Amino acid sequence: MPVGGLVPRAAENAAELVVRNARIHTQDERRPQAGALAVRDGVVTVVGEDRDVAGHIGPDTRVVDAMGRRVVPGLNDAHLHVIRGGLNYVLELRWDGVRTLREGLAMLRAQAERTPKGQWVRVVGGWSAEQFAERRLPTVAELNAAAPDTPVFVLHLYQSAVLNRAALRAAGYDRTTPDPKGGQIVRGRDGEPTGMLLAAPSALVLYSTLAKAPTLSDTDKRISTRHFLRELNRFGLTSAIDAAGGFQNFPDNYSTVVELAKSGQLSLRIAYHLFPQTAGQEIEDLTRWIEMARPEDGDAWLRLNGAGENLTWAAADFENFAQPRPELDDYEPEFEKAVRLLLENGWGFRLHATYDETIRRDLAVFEKLAAEGLFPGDGRWLFDHAETVSPESLDRIAALGGAMSVQNRLSFQGEAFLRRYGPGDAADAPPIAAMLRRGLTVAAGTDATRVSSYNPWVALHWLVSGRTVGDLVVRPPSNRVDRHTALRLFTRAGATLTGEDDVKGVLRPGCYADLAILSEDYFTVPEADIPHLESLLTVVGGRIVYAAGEYEGLDEELPPLSPQWSPVAHHGGYQRSGGARQAELIGEAVAESEQQRRWRVGRGLADDGTVTPFDPCFSL
**pLDDT computed for residue 618 by the predictor:** 33
**pLDDT computed for residue 577 by the predictor:** 62
Asked if pLDDT for residue 265 goes beyond 80, the answer is: yes
**pLDDT computed for residue 319 by the predictor:** 86
Asked if pLDDT for residue 620 goes beyond 60, the answer is: no
**pLDDT computed for residue 12 by the predictor:** 80
Through-space distance between the first and last CA atoms of the chain, rounded to whole angstroms: 45
Percent of the chain scoring above 70 in pLDDT: 91
Q: Which stretch of DSSP H or E encloses residue 339?
A: helix 332-344
**pLDDT computed for residue 585 by the predictor:** 52
Burial class (CB within 10 angstroms; exposed 0-12, middle 13-18, buried 19+) of 291: exposed
Q: Which residue intervals of 188-281 are DSSP H helices?
A: 204-210, 218-233, 255-262
**pLDDT computed for residue 607 by the predictor:** 55
Asked if pLDDT for residue 617 goes beyond 50, the answer is: no
Q: What mean pLDDT comes out for the span 167-177? A: 97
Contact 472, 479 (CB under 8 A): no
506/42 Cα distance (integer angstroms) = 14
DSSP readout, 86-133? HHHGGGB---TT---HHHHHHHHHHHHHHSPTT--EEEESS--GGGST
Q: What mean pLDDT comes out for the span 417-429? A: 96
**535 contact partners, CB below 8 Å, separation of at least 6:** 233, 234, 235, 236, 516, 517, 518, 519, 546, 548
Contact 483, 523 (CB under 8 A): yes
Radius of gyration of the chain (CA): 24
Average of per-residue pLDDT values in the chain: 92
Q: What are phi and psi of 440, to 5 degrees?
A: -70, 145
381/373 Cα distance (integer angstroms) = 15
Asked if pLDDT for residue 602 goes beyond 80, the answer is: no
Q: What are the tens digits of pLDDT across the range 180-229?
A: 988 999 999 999 999 999 998 888 899 999 999 999 999 999 999 999 99
Burial class (CB within 10 angstroms; exposed 0-12, middle 13-18, buried 19+) of 222: buried
Full strand arrangement of the beta sheet holding 33-34: 33-34, 23-25, 70-73, 515-518, 535-540, 543-547
**pLDDT computed for residue 1 by the predictor:** 47
**pLDDT computed for residue 619 by the predictor:** 36
DSSP strand pairing (75-80 vs 33-34): unpaired
Going by pLDDT thresholds of 50, 70 and 90, the confidence category of residue 588 is low
Q: What are the tens digits of pLDDT across the range 276-314?
A: 999 999 999 999 999 999 998 999 999 999 999 999 999
582/103 Cα distance (integer angstroms) = 9
Q: What are the tens digits of pLDDT across the range 462-498?
A: 999 999 999 999 999 999 999 999 999 999 999 999 9
DSSP state of 374: -
Strand-pairing partners, residue 71, are: 24, 517
